[in-house]
Amino acid sequence: MGKIRLFMDSHKSAIYLLRYIAVALLLTIIVIGVDYFGIGKGFIPELLLTKIDVARSILTALSGSFLTITTFTFSTILSVLSTYSSNYSPRVVENFLAKKITMKVLGLFVGGFIYSIMTLFFMKTSDLGVMVLSATVAIIYTIYSVINFVIFIFSVSSLIQSGNLIVNTFRESAEVIERSIEEISDMERISDYSLESYHYKEDFYIDCDGFLELIELEELLEKHKDQEGMLVIHPSIGDFVSRNQKVASLYYNDWSHLAEDNLPGLKEELLKSFTVKEKRITTKDYKYSIQKIIDIALRAISPGINDPNTAMKCLDFAGVLLGKISTVEGCYNCSKTEDSRLAVIYESFNLKKDLEDSLNQIVFYGKEDLFVVSAVMDALLSSYHQATKENKEIIRDYSNYVYDRTIDNFQHERERKIIDSRYELLNFKENQV
């Protein structure tokens, strides 16, 4: 089920486009069946029928119009993609393409062109007196397409604004994080694990390159539930893996069930549990969804754009997202069924690493900007409000790093007071935990 959803999300724009083209093709087949073969024509009111020469004139005009607007729509999409890539981040380009209205409009006009051409092709010049349905359907289809085109224009004018882009990216990321937390709610969470009780170890190496986007271990756990051991997955979701890289290690005591001839089968079962893609997908990869917001902030504080207010807004939302992560205790998921003796350990929601991956670049490139550093401290304070006791220590420790890394860049007393006030607020809360 997870692989199906991953496929749907990674091809969302193509699915939207093909869906409306398919609807237009189906409509074409039905109308041709009515007009050319007379199927069900007796049940259609005469008001909806037109003469064939009138229908030909309407369809000829519409076919050219559909092709023209398709070209215009495609040009608009390319302009928006260029703006997203140059002003914000190449990673948010897919957010615009994944919007339903974007591909819906393109699909409607491509489908309309196909409908007009196909119905014209099946019109006979010898049957000028015949009444047909195709023109009426084309008019209704055109009105519906124009309405969606207007919605598309308003959508583009809204989505291209930095504020709306940040909010939409935040909502997407929040949904991914909440869904990921819900998926691990039934699993045991641990901060560390011990391997001292196991005497044997077997390593497994992957045979492809790409980003690890999905781990499905239910079938493996069910099949080997009677075998005592611990399977440790080394990469986490979103990490890049390369061919012949060690991705898992099996620790166990009983050697008998892992005879030499059984190892290839076990390796095949394990590798089937991994889904590796050439590009990252936000479906399961919450770190990638946060990275999109951070990328917008990094682009905003770059010398070419120099827009710290946009960066501060991004960090406000990043703080909320990190706060959601800080509600999860531990660093690893321990997955096993109730009657299973085999446990699977893999890293997920490691707050220390997530803070470093999300904010280290902001701290490095914005360390001399008072307002950016203040926004980083505010983001940490925002996540602190939601954090568990264990995670509050991690946030305080990271705030020490941010403070030590940036405070020497501000020599004026007023500037240092702004940073100190936020830093002291985090440390003052230490005594209240």
- pLDDT tens sequence across 99-113: 889 999 999 999 999
Decide the pairing of beta strands 342-347 and 229-233.
parallel
For the chain, give the percent of residues with pLDDT over 90. Answer: 56
Does residue 429 have a pLDDT over 60?
no
SS3 367: coil
Cβ neighbors of 424 (< 8 A, separation 6 or more) are: none
Range among 130-134, 229-233, 380-384 rated most confident? 380-384
What's the rounded mean pLDDT across residues 40-53?
85
**pLDDT score of 38 more than 50:** yes
Q: Where is average pLDDT lowest: 74-78, 265-269, 306-310?
A: 265-269
Given the structure tokens 């307002």, which residue do they identify? 371
Of 206, 338, 325, residue with least CA distance to 272: 206
Using an 8 Å Cβ cutoff, are 395 and 426 in contact? Answer: yes
Per-residue pLDDT band for 258 (boundaries 50, 70, 90) equals: low
Cβ(399)–Cβ(423) under 8 Å? yes
Residue 389 has pLDDT above 50, yes or no: yes
Taking residue 44's Cβ as centre, other Cβ atoms within 10 Å add up to: 13
Mean pLDDT score across all residues of the chain: 88
Q: What is the pLDDT of residue 328?
A: 94
User: Mean pLDDT throughout 84-105?
Assistant: 88
Q: What separation, in Å, do the N-terminal and C-terminal C-alpha atoms of the chain show?
A: 42
Q: Give the model's pLDDT for residue 304.
A: 82
Phi, psi of 250, deg, nearest 5: -105, 120
Stated pTM of the model: 0.86
Which pLDDT band holds residue 372 (cuts at 50, 70, 90)? very high
Residues 6+ apart with CB under 8 A from 327: 181, 386, 387, 388, 391
Residue type, 77: I
Element spanning 104, H or E: helix 100-121
The pLDDT assigned to 384 comes to 94
Beta strands 188-190 and 332-335, pairing class: antiparallel
d(CA 366, CA 351): 22
pLDDT at res. 125? 58
> Which residues sit opposite 343 in a β-bridge?
230
Q: Flag whether pLDDT at 127 surpasses 80.
A: no
Residue 256 confidence (pLDDT): 56
Residue 433 three-state SS: coil
Q: Residue 230 and residue 389: Cα distance in Å, rounded?
A: 28
DSSP 213-278: EEE--HHHHHHTTTS-EEEEE-S-TT-EE-TT-EEEEEEES--TTS-TTTHHHHHHHHHHTEEEES
> How far is 236 from 40, CA to CA, in rounded Å?
58
**Sheet arrangement for strand 274-277:** 240-241, 210-215, 274-277
The single-letter code of the amino acid at 370 is L
Rounded (to 5) percent helix, strand, coil in the chain: 65, 10, 25
What is the spatial distance between Cα 359 and Cα 379, in angstroms, rounded to a whole number? Answer: 10
Region 58-67: what's the mean pLDDT? Answer: 93
Q: For residue 203, how many other CB atoms are within 10 A of its CB?
A: 12
pLDDT at 431: 46
Polymer length of the chain = 433
Structure tokens at 265: 């089968």
pLDDT, tens digit, 9 for 90 and up, residues 205-247: 998 999 999 888 777 777 777 777 888 999 999 999 999 999 9
- Residue pair 402/380 in contact by the 8 Å Cβ criterion: yes
pLDDT digits (tens, 9 = 90+) for 138-159: 999 999 999 999 999 999 999 8
pLDDT value of position 336: 78
Burial string for 246-265 (b: 16+ CB within 10 Å, else e) reads ebbbbbbeeeeebeeeeeee
How far apart CA 100 and CA 342 sit, in angstroms, is 43
